[in-house]
Amino acid sequence: MKKEARLFEEFLEKKGLRDTLQRELILEEFLKTEEHITAAELYDKVKQRDSAVGQATVYRVLKLFCEAGLAREVDFSDGMMRYEHHYGHSHHDHLVCRGCGKTVEVVDTVIEELQKRLSAQYGFQLTGHEMYLYGICEECRRR
């Protein structure tokens, strides 16, 4: 079994929640995807394997994944939330192409350090951040 699945079971256990077939199924499908997935996309995939699953359940379970540290919400400001793998994936920000929608995951430890310092200057203890860099990728620029 995947480490993520075990972690999720432990999480459910600890919270006194139940390990159901739907939750397992949704987790399996979520883990299969590599890209940032929307609730609707995940719902479609899950439905192909069990058409009885409701979308509310997908939403509910995605929330659980986030709580469990398995998933993370990302918001590219296009009207719906996306979810990406979080466990075993180090923190990163996103570079988004305004032309084709392609995204790249990026990290810059110097920026991170400066963010912390900047916050401290205003007496804030930084707990998290969102950074989206929007631009035009090379391919799109050629066209």
Partner DNA sequence: GCTCTTTGTGAGAATGATTATCATTTTGCA
Partner DNA sequence: TGCAAAATGATAATCATTCTCACAAAGAGC
List of residues contacting its own copies (CB under 8 A):
75, 77, 95, 97-98, 104, 106, 108, 110-111, 114-115, 118-119, 122-138, 141
Q: Environment class of residue 122 by beta-carbon count within 10 Å: exposed (0-12), middle (13-18) or buried (19+)?
A: exposed
* Using rule CB under 7 A, residue 57 touches DNA: yes
Of 81, 97, 137, 140, the one binding DNA (CB under 7 A) is: 81
* 22 binds DNA, rule: CB under 7 A: yes
Residues 6+ apart with CB under 8 A from 21: 50
CB-wise, 11 or 87, nearer to DNA?
Answer: 11
Q: What angle do CA 41, 71, 8 make, to 5 degrees?
A: 110
Nearest to 70 by CA among 107, 104, 29: 29
Task: List residues near DNA by CB under 7 A.
Answer: 12, 16-23, 38-40, 50, 52-57, 59-61, 63, 79-81
